[in-house]
Amino acid sequence: MMETLEKKLNIAMVCDPIGNNKSGVVVSTRRFGKLLKERGHNVIFIGARSAEHKEHNYHDDLKTYRYRSLPVPKSGGWNLAFPTIKEMKKVFQEEKIDIVHIILPMSGAIVAIFAAKALHIKIVAHSHSQPENLFMDMPKVMQLILGNLWNKYLAWVYSKAELLIYPSEMARALLDKLGRKNQPSLVISNGIDLKEFKPVAIGNFYERFNIPAGQVKLLFVGRLFPEKSVDTLIKAMPYIIEKNKNARVMLAGAGYMRLKLEKLANRLNVDEYVTFLGLISEEDKLLAYNASDIFVLPSLAELEGMVVLEAMACGKPIIVSDAKMSASRHFVDGNGFLFKAKDSQDLAYQVLKLVVDPDLRKKMGEISFEKIKQYDIRKSVDLLEKAYYSTLKRL
């Protein structure tokens, strides 16, 4: 923990879909908020009302202000918050907010920015969005048009902040040009709680999810959305099974592409080797990591890739796509393999190296377990806390 004699801060984190949503950005926000509170800071969340959360409430023991909202189509349960500037100013004044932390550049962020500026409150903006996350399932022309518009919008949002925070160097290289000229920026990993994610006994996990014991288990964790490229993993299974029938893939997560992916597995005659775990609890997610032998992330776009960190913390070898828009590829360093993005045959080739060699799996898993120590979330909170204080001192 960072030693400091600075006063404790009142921090407002603005993240429209804050709640039980399993997306990385929401999970990261909740983890940071919880740890900042443990350090004595007063942290509040600003988010959207939803069917699950209809009123102001507490989330992770943190006061959460929720406002009228609209659902985002094909988002996995995200809502856009629409507070008024007057409502935001009232909250910021009553909570004596020192700093506003924009987590997602959604509707709630726009209002929070205007309210913070009116009250002369410093703003920190976090980069958790890239066009590929939003428009990948659209025609190429539309991807280009909407991507350019989105980047212009991000440039406007980021220009209002005193500091930009990126989860990886790749994210900074991609998006730092969107901020103001000479605007300070900082890379802070989302990090991983090594007290939470670690090797544990899996109990009756296989029985509960009807998974045969004894097979080599591949695991994917994430949204079933286009940018995750889960179809590449399913398309790799026929090549894997042809060489070794002792393999199975477990897919943990939900999304509007599930039915399409189930039909794909059926069409390729590998449905008996593919288990859709669905949207599982945090407890079962930890067990899923530990019940697997190899973690696979075929994503085409990741500003960091928290699920890779979680798998590494559980001592698993990793196989990640080499997609240029995915920062997760940088986690592969002696602890797994890269494969050519969207190339199912190359993915199968890399997977089989580990399927047939338990000693290599063990060795690479041990390297993952050692490397993850540098991503301890408490180190990230040290940096975030320091960033807040330096921003408040900046003229």
**Residue 175: what pLDDT?**
78
Structure tokens at 212: 């045969």
Span 49-65, average pLDDT: 87
Q: For 244-263, what is each residue's pLDDT tens digit?
A: 999 999 999 999 999 999 99
**In angstroms, rounded to a whole number, what is the distance separating the alpha carbons of residues 305 and 313?**
13
CB 263: neighbour CB atoms within 10 A? 11
Binned at pLDDT 50, 70 and 90, residue 2 comes out as very low
Chain segment 17-38, per-residue pLDDT in tens: 887 666 788 889 999 999 999 9
Residues 6+ apart with CB under 8 A from 390: 163
pLDDT tens profile 202-242: 999 999 999 998 899 999 999 999 999 999 999 999 999 99
Could you tell me the fold of the domain covering 205-375?
Answer: Rossmann fold (3.40.50)
Span 99-126, average pLDDT? 96
Tell me what pLDDT residue 182 has: 81
What confidence score (pLDDT) does residue 136 get?
67
Using alpha carbons, select from 284, 233, 227, 219 the residue that is nearest to residue 74: 227
Q: How far apart are CA 7 and CA 389, in angstroms?
A: 9
The pLDDT-based confidence of 96 (bands split at 50, 70, 90) is: very high
Please say if the pLDDT value at position 1 is more than 50.
no
pLDDT confidence band for 75 (50 / 70 / 90): low
Q: How far apart are CA 324 and CA 10, in angstroms?
A: 38
Q: Tell me the C-alpha distance between 328 and 307, whole Å.
A: 9
The CATH number that domain 10-191+376-393 falls under is: 3.40.50.2000
Q: Say how many C-beta atoms besides its own lie within 10 A of residue 116's C-beta.
A: 24
55-70 average pLDDT score: 90
Instruction: Determine the average pLDDT of the residues in 5-17.
Output: 90
Q: Residue 39 corresponds to which amino acid?
A: R
Residues of the chain with CATH 3.40.50.2000: 10-191+376-393, 205-375
Average pLDDT of the residues in 43-58: 89
User: Tell me: the pLDDT tens digits for 336-391?
Assistant: 999 999 999 999 999 999 999 999 999 999 999 999 999 999 999 999 999 999 99
Those residues with Cβ within 8 angstroms of residue 181's Cβ, 6 or more apart along the chain or in another chain: none
Query: Where do the DSSP E strands lie in 279-328?
Result: 294-297, 301-302, 318-321, 325-326
Predicted confidence band of residue 179 (pLDDT cuts 50, 70, 90): confident
8 Å CB contact between 219 and 211: no
DSSP letters, 135-152, are: HTTS-HHHHHHHHHHHHH
What's residue 177's pLDDT? Answer: 74
- For residues 67 and 83, the answer to whether their CB atoms sit within 8 Å is yes
Cβ partners under 8 Å of residue 326, min gap 6: 170, 297, 299, 300, 301, 302, 305, 320, 341
Which amino acid appears at position 60 of this protein? D
Q: What is the pLDDT of residue 250?
A: 98
Beta strand 185-187 pairing with 274-278? unpaired
Region 169-182: mean pLDDT is: 80
Task: Find out whether 45 and 63 touch, Cβ atoms under 8 Å.
Answer: yes
Confidence band for 131, pLDDT divided at 50, 70 and 90: low
pLDDT above 90 coverage of the chain, percent? 75
Q: Which two tokens stand for residue 326?
A: 């995915």
Strand pairing class (79-81; 69-71): antiparallel
**Strand (E) or helix (H) holding 263:** helix 258-267
Q: Does residue 3 carry a pLDDT above 70?
A: no
Return the minimum-mean-pLDDT range out of 23-32, 172-181, 325-334: 172-181
Q: What is the pTM of this model?
A: 0.89
Report the candidate in 73, 79, 118 with the shortest Cα–Cα distance to residue 100. 118
Q: For residue 232, what are its two tokens?
A: 């590449």
Average pLDDT over residues 55-71: 89
**85-93: average pLDDT:** 97
Cα gap 284→307, rounded to integer Å: 14
In angstroms, what CA-CA distances link 224 with 221, 228, 255?
9, 7, 4
Average pLDDT, the chain: 92
Residue 132 has pLDDT above 70, yes or no: no
**Chain-centroid distance, C-alpha 350:** 25
pLDDT at position 204 is: 96
In sequence order, the β-bridge partners of residue 14 are 46, 102
Check residue 134 and give its pLDDT. 67
